[in-house]
Chains A and B, each alone.
Chain A
Amino acid sequence: MTPLHLTTLSPETIHKIIDEALALIVDPGIRVHNPQALNLLAEAGAEVDFSAQIAHIPEALVRRALESVPKTFYLYNLDGQPVVQYGGDAVHFDPGSTAVTILDSLSGAQRPPVTADLVKLVRLVEMLPQYNAQSTALICRDVPEGMGDLYRLYLALNEMRKPIITGAFGKQTWWTMYEMLVVAAGSEAALAEKPLAVFDVCPTPPLLWSDLTCQNLIDCALKGVPAELISMPLAGATAPVTLAASVVQHTAENLSGLVISQSARAGAPVVWGGAPAAFDMRHGTTPMGDPATWLIDLAYVQVGKALGLPTHTYMGSSDAKTLDMQAGMESSNGALLAALAGVNMVSGAGMLDYLRCQSLEKLVIDAEIIRMARRVAAGIEIRDEPIALEIMRRSGHRADYLSQPHTHRWFRKELPMPSEVIDRSPLEAWEKAGRSTTVERAQARMQTLLAAYEPNALSTEQRAALHEITLRAARQNGLDQLPDRTLL
């Protein structure tokens, strides 16, 4: 395989960006609003101003962290198979996470998500082979906010086989979520050996690691749970407007996160991720479908690769409010660029409206976009030696390739077909079949896939234990009973 590979920055620019980031985390340093993290950094050799909660991190500490952090690790599915390779140029996709609304299938309007929506979404993602991982994609509004993070994981674990990208909204809830993952994996050791989940931890721009995210990052490191560093400079608002300078800020924030993690436990798995955005200078919004956003993404991914780290980004989502052409073009361009850049985990599929909204139909449509992007990224393979001489001399001047065994042998690999979401029929057939739109075909495919879903292999005891853990959290949040997750 000779994959296409996209680069954005010259080696000299990468070097310069890293140098400036290293200088930034010394002066002015990184704000760290967590006492344990400040202590860890001080012990490791950083100069720490405890009253100002600022750490000045010397380059030597970063170099040590880069030595100890794994270059490659895997996520495992519930059957214990390694299905996601973090590291190198392997490309995977997962749905965008933590949407606060869902695009209602019937009305086409955004509304608050509930339990049944997330159950459906997780099942759908299981059935779409283009997704290598799940994500805790929706915040269900039929449970109290205080358990919003862990409830998502509870629902997902009951339905999923694929590994999951998740995150905690609190310091305590991280532990509840960890407990759930241990139940699903079988034991703490099994979970550490074969990670089932990655936790996103997001520094606050500019140059701040909040109490909550520091704690999540440290706890992940101590328990051997992979953490995805999601720096999100907003170019022109919370970060400098020039794209390269935003990449410097991203590098500084992620490098400091890396040092916090490795100071907690050397060798803890970390992903060089992010969700930067260009700032919209008219509406004050954060467009994910802007070329400037993609350029920052591509650049920081290249910096991560230069540092030898596994990579993640938020691409392939759209800022459209409905499933229109804007949704199609922004999602397609982002996904294609990410695939060409060899990003290990690309989050964002299914999402609309500045990562606020998830759509089941869009997840189905985006799966086709991902199929296209992967096909292009896979490039052209040489199947025969000689390439064409033998087959072309056999056929001479006859246009009979459709009936050649050579065609039968290779067409599935060379010309893989889309699902029925993509219409390839002649006009007459399309009209006869009801002049369907992309969204209608996606809805039909969604129904077919959901009908074919089969439950995962969690035991009755494991399900009961997960329920017990979640019910305990629910009661702490004033909810006596969990919503019925079998109601679909």
Chain B
Amino acid sequence: MTHEILTQLTESLVAGEPEAAVDLTRQALQAGIEPLEIIQQGLIPGMNIVGEKFQSGEYYLPDLIIAADGMQQAMQILEPELVTRQQKIETAGTVVIGTVKGDIHEIGKSLVATMLSANGFTVHDMGVDVPTETFLAKVRETNANLVGLSALLTTTMTVQREVIQALQAAGLRSQVKVMVGGAPVTQSWADEVGADGFAEDAMSAVTLARRLVAQK
């Protein structure tokens, strides 16, 4: 049977109330509910409902983001508890994401990072104007299996190709799947530069990331 408190936690994410999500997470721990149960029966169902409402057209980007924010804040409380119990949640994948060198556009990339994170991926957001070497170093360091490259300008989208070639040259290409995105980016561009996938919005990026990880 689901605890009433977990139902409320789910509802707080759906309603876009991150502060309530944090309170309810604390209350759930105090009530002796296991962190894994809080995640699986409180937080994840909430994120799933928000995702469904987005797909059906009822919810919009700010609804996704505020829910993801609530999820992340709740996870910050739960993670130390998981460590204490020597438990961990299975990560859906480890992602290194950033906007390529020469491009300072942040919104699309951050949106994808937020949504991946809220959907169980371990996300390393490298920010904007990220040098190619920095992507490579982070992939080595974290043993990531996904790379997300954002570019909003037609002049910087060619850098996506450079990063992919650099991954190849460094012998890392077989370790990672590469997703590309950004306003000028299309599926045919993704094919041309040798990326593994392209998504036109943040929710599709989550679907794509899941699909790419499953291929490995």
Contacts and interface: CB of A to CB of B under 8 A. Distances in A.
Given A420-B57, A428-B200, A429-B201, A408 B62 contact: yes
A402 B187 contact: no
A425 B16 CA distance: 24
Contact of B63 (A399, A408, A432): A408
B29 interface: no
Interface of A: 399, 402-403, 405, 407-408, 411-412, 417, 420, 425-429, 432
B69 interface: yes
Given A399-B107, A402-B107, A403-B114, A411 B62 contact: yes
B208 interface: no
A426 to B, nearest CB: 5
B66 A405 contact: yes
B165 interface: no
Contacts of B187: 428
29 contacts: A399-B106, A402-B61, A402-B62, A402-B65, A402-B107, A402-B111, A403-B62, A403-B65, A403-B66, A403-B110, A403-B114, A405-B18, A405-B66, A408-B62, A408-B63, A408-B66, A411-B62, A412-B60, A420-B57, A426-B183, A426-B200, A426-B201, A427-B186, A428-B186, A428-B187, A428-B198, A428-B200, A429-B200, A429-B201
A402 B113 CA distance: 13
Contacts of A429: 200-201
Nearest to B189: A428
Chain B interface bracket (under 10, 10 to 19, 20 to 34, 35 or more): 20 to 34
B115 to A, nearest CB: 12
With most chain B CB atoms within 10 A of its CB, the pick from A405, A411, A427 is: A405
With most chain A CB atoms within 10 A of its CB, the pick from B63, B111, B200 is: B200
B16 A408 contact: yes
B123 to A, nearest CB: 15
With most chain B CB atoms within 10 A of its CB, the pick from A405, A420, A425, A428 is: A428
Contacts of A427: 186
Given A402-B107, A428-B200, A411 B65 contact: no
Contacts of B110: 402-403
Nearest to B186: A428
Contacts, number: 40
Given A403-B65, A428-B198, A432-B200, 10 more contacts: A399-B107, A402-B65, A402-B111, A403-B69, A408-B16, A412-B60, A417-B60, A425-B200, A428-B200, A429-B201
Contacts of A411: 60, 62
Contacts of A408: 16, 62-63, 65-66
B200 A407 contact: no
Contacts of A399: 106-107
Contacts of A412: 60
Contacts of A402: 61-62, 65, 107, 110-111
A47 B185 CA distance: 79
Top-9 shortest CB links A-B:
A408-B62, A429-B200, A408-B66, A403-B65, A407-B62, A426-B200, A428-B200, A428-B186, A408-B16
Interface in B11-49: 16, 18
A417 B58 CA distance: 10
A368 to B, nearest CB: 14
Contacts of B183: 426
Interface of B: 16, 18, 57, 60-63, 65-66, 69, 106-107, 110-111, 114, 183, 186-187, 198, 200-201
A417 B63 CA distance: 14
B74 to A, nearest CB: 16
Contacts of B18: 405
A428 B180 CA distance: 14
A420 B58 CA distance: 11
Nearest to B187: A428
A432 B111 CA distance: 22
A420 B56 CA distance: 11
Contacts of B111: 402
Contacts of B200: 425-426, 428-429, 432
B71 to A, nearest CB: 13
A403 B125 CA distance: 16
A89 B112 CA distance: 45
A283 B110 CA distance: 59
Contacts of A432: 200
Contacts of B16: 405, 408
Contacts of A428: 186-187, 198, 200
B177 to A, nearest CB: 19
Contacts of B107: 399, 402
B60 to A, nearest CB: 7
Contacts of B66: 403, 405, 408
B120 to A, nearest CB: 19
Nearest to B190: A428
A399 B111 CA distance: 12
A249 B63 CA distance: 55
Nearest to A407: B62
A432 B199 CA distance: 12
A459 B151 CA distance: 62
A314 B49 CA distance: 44
B203 to A, nearest CB: 11
A411 B62 CA distance: 8
B41 to A, nearest CB: 25
B106 to A, nearest CB: 6
B198 to A, nearest CB: 8
